[in-house]
């Protein structure tokens, strides 16, 4: 029997970016979008075009860079948002406008302060406006899982009649359970006369840890698009995880009545890229992409796998890309080989000068460690972008003295607005001393919201990937730094965060609520 296609709608670049500190630059969004395109993701939601000039430019740039996936921009159900979204995706081979309005009683009463009939009229008008700008229009009922059924049927019928061809009913606050969320779609499809003219979509948040379960139950009840993110990234507890949805469908072909066109071999490399760009490391026991996802510690399990893999493994690690992230590059590797591998990772260079700079950094790293992995190359590019985000602060050199029983002392040299600065401080540890020394010059009044160190690859010579999250006056930024010396990586990350904070780049995006 022919199975239906399950449309994979990736919103890492929009909803995923709403994780505090996870904002991405335009170039970072393009890198991730190209990997999603290589994975054959059907729809890429590239951002919320009206949120800022930077968001508009990023959506526009992704639309120009990606040819094989539909590029989507989110828009509230108001004319300025819709027109801005239309302009942003105008250059795409395939574009989509995704417009939404809240439909639950609590949202209509307290947030919108509108009566249901007013909300319905605004939704219909928004879809009509969007259809005048773009053939592909998606409509979302914000807080759909708490919307009254009869009103849901009315508004879904009306927006389909107005031209929406994808209807998304999100579990915006992560309140739903699989049984009730699935039945909700079943009832909508059965009670809306023109439901056969639209594809229904699930968009689930993970507040109760049920996002993937809710999404898959929706699929069993007629949904043919799932909105998800790489690594389950997203505001609060995150969204449904793309890799879990895709591999559930691939692995349980006997159960799910759908198939996707996703090429799963790119899942792990894309997961690593998103983790590097956002500074949100993947937990080791995360399904599919966690470091322990295919590891077997139990002797009984190991024995079983050695005798017959399927005894304890339901998937092959290589099918999702675990064997593709090994890279035999080292200090003797040539420029062409390095450039080719960068391109396979979705990293391109806009000039010979930028390629030369990347190759120089590669050689410097190769002098420090024997083997270079894909994760190293991704971190190398992210570290380079961090240096050029703004020219306010730039790391030069560092000396840290540590001795048991004595306070560590850090001496730093960096530039501030092009001028050399030297500073020093002691601290409770070497990193604390480094940060305090920097703050003696910066006086940023920022709060350190997160300090995270992650080994990029295995082994004692691995690069340390450091994330520093600073917050000030409602703005949240992530600074990143990579180095084989984790204290130096920490200094780079802190200076990067200060640059972002001072320049306003990557300020946390506006929350939309979908």
Does 136 map to a domain? yes
Does 145 map to a domain? yes
Task: Print burial letters for 413-425: b (CB count within 10 Å at least 16), e (below 16).
Answer: ebebeeeebebbb
Chain centroid, CA 406 distance in Å: 42
Claim to verify: residue 400 and residue 264 sit in the same structural domain: no
Does 113 map to a domain? yes
pLDDT surpasses 50 at 297: no
Of 217, 243, 278, which closes a domain? 278
Of 278, 304, 322, which closes a domain? 278
Task: Print burial letters for 473-497: b (CB count within 10 Å at least 16), e (below 16).
Answer: eeebbbbbbbbbebbbbbbbbbbbb
Claim to verify: residue 260 and residue 393 sit in the same structural domain: no
CATH of the domain at 460: 3.30.160.270
Question: What's the token pair of residue 241?
Answer: 């995880």
Burial of 370 (0-12, 13-18, 19+ CB in 10 A): exposed
Report how far residue 28's alpha carbon sits from residue 38's, in angstroms, rounded to the nearest whole number.
Answer: 16
CATH of the domain at 182: 3.20.20.70
Report how far residue 388's alpha carbon sits from residue 366's, in angstroms, rounded to the nearest whole number.
Answer: 22
Q: Percent of the chain scored above 90 by pLDDT?
A: 63
pLDDT 10s digits, 450-489: 898 887 776 777 788 888 999 998 788 888 888 889 999 9
Residue 485 or 303, more confident = 485
484 touches 490 (CB < 8 A): no
Paired residues of 70 in beta bridges: 43
> Which of 72-76, 117-121, 315-319, 405-409 has the least mean pLDDT?
315-319
Does 368 map to a domain? no
The count of structural domains within the chain is: 2
Give the mean pLDDT of 115-132.
98
Pairing state of beta strands 95-102 and 137-142?
Answer: parallel
Give the mean pLDDT of 20-34.
87
Does 138 map to a domain? yes
Of 262, 278, 294, which closes a domain? 278
What is the rounded average pLDDT for all residues in the chain? 88
- Which pLDDT belongs to residue 300? 41
Give the mean pLDDT of 121-128.
98
Claim to verify: residue 52 and residue 198 sit in the same structural domain: yes
Contacts of 58 (CB under 8 A, 6+ apart): 13, 24, 25, 26, 29, 30, 46, 47
Task: Write out the DSSP string of 97-158.
Answer: EEEEEE-SHHHIIIII---HHHHHHHHHHHHHHHHHH-S-EEEEEETGGGS-HHHHHHHHHH
- Which pLDDT belongs to residue 505? 52
Claim to verify: residue 266 and residue 400 sit in the same structural domain: no
Element (H, E) at 394: strand 393-403
Claim to verify: residue 273 and residue 413 sit in the same structural domain: no
pLDDT surpasses 60 at 140: yes
Give the mean pLDDT of 253-272.
95
45 touches 13 (CB < 8 A): yes
Question: Rounded to two decimals, what is the model's pTM?
Answer: 0.83
Question: What's the token pair of residue 113?
Answer: 């302060």
**Predicted confidence band of residue 347 (pLDDT cuts 50, 70, 90):** confident
pLDDT surpasses 70 at 385: no
Does 306 map to a domain? no
- Give the structural domain span for 165: 4-278
**Predicted confidence band of residue 66 (pLDDT cuts 50, 70, 90):** very high
Does 355 map to a domain? no
Does 409 map to a domain? yes
24 touches 17 (CB < 8 A): yes
Claim to verify: residue 35 and residue 171 sit in the same structural domain: yes
> Which of 9-13, 406-410, 500-504 has the least mean pLDDT?
500-504
Helix (H, G, I), strand (E, B) or coil at 94: coil
Element (H, E) at 178: helix 178-191
Claim to verify: residue 106 and residue 231 sit in the same structural domain: yes
């Amino acid at each position: 029997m022919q199975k239906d296609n399950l449309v994979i709608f990736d919103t890492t670049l929009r909803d995923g970016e709403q994780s505090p500190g996870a904002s991405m630059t335009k170039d970072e969004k393009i890198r991730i979008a190209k990997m999603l395109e290589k994975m054959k993701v059907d729809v890429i939601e590239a951002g919320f075009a009206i949120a800022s000039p930077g968001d508009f430019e990023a959506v526009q740039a992704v639309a120009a860079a990606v040819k094989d996936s539909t590029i989507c921009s989110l828009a509230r159900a108001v004319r300025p948002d819709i027109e801005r979204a239309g302009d942003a995706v105008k250059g795409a081979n395939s574009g989509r406008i995704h417009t939404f309005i809240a439909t639950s009683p609590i949202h209509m009463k307290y947030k919108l302060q509108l009566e249901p009939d007013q909300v319905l009229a605004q939704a219909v008008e928004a879809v009509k406006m969007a259809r005048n700008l773009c053939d592909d229009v998606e409509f979302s009922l914000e807080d759909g899982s708490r919307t009254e059924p009869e009103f849901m049927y009315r508004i879904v019928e009306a927006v389909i009649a107005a031209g929406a061809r994808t209807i998304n009913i999100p579990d915006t606050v992560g309140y739903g359970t699989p049984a009730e969320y699935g039945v909700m779609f079943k009832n909508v499809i059965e009670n809306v006369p023109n439901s056969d003219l639209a594809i229904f979509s699930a968009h689930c948040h993970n507040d109760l840890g049920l996002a993937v379960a809710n999404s898959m139950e929706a699929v069993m009840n007629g949904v043919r698009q799932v909105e998800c993110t790489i690594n389950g990234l997203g505001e609060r507890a995150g969204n449904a995880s793309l890799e879990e949805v895709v591999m559930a469908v691939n692995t349980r072909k006997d159960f799910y009545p759908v198939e996707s066109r996703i090429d799963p071999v790119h899942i792990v490399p894309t997961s690593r890229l998103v983790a590097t760009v956002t500074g949100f490391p993947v937990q080791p026991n995360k399904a599919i992409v966690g470091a322990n996802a295919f590891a077997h510690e139990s002797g009984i399990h190991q024995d079983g796998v050695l005798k017959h893999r399927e005894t304890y493994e339901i998937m092959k690690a290589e099918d999702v890309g675990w064997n593709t992230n090994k890279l035999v590059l080292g200090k003797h590797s040539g420029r062409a080989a390095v450039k080719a591998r960068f391109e396979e990772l979705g990293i391109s260079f806009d000039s010979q000068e930028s390629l030369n700079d990347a190759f120089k950094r590669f050689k410097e790293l190769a002098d420090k460690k024997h083997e270079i992995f894909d994760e190293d190359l991704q971190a190398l590019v992210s570290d380079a972008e961090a240096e050029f985000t703004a020219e306010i602060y730039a790391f030069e050199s560092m000396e840290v003295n540590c001795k048991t029983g004595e306070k560590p002392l850090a001496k730093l040299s960096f530039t501030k607005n092009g001028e050399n600065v030297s500073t020093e401080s002691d601290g409770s540890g070497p990193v604390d001393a480094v940060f305090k020394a920097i703050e003696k010059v910066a006086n940023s009044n920022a709060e350190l919201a997160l300090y995270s160190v992650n080994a990029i690859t295995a082994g004692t010579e691995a690069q340390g990937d450091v994330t520093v999250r600073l917050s000030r006056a409602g703005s949240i930024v992530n600074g990143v730094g990579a180095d084989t010396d984790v204290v130096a990586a920490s200094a780079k990350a802190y200076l990067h965060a200060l640059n972002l904070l001072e320049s306003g780049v990557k300020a946390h995006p506006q929350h939309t609520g979908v």
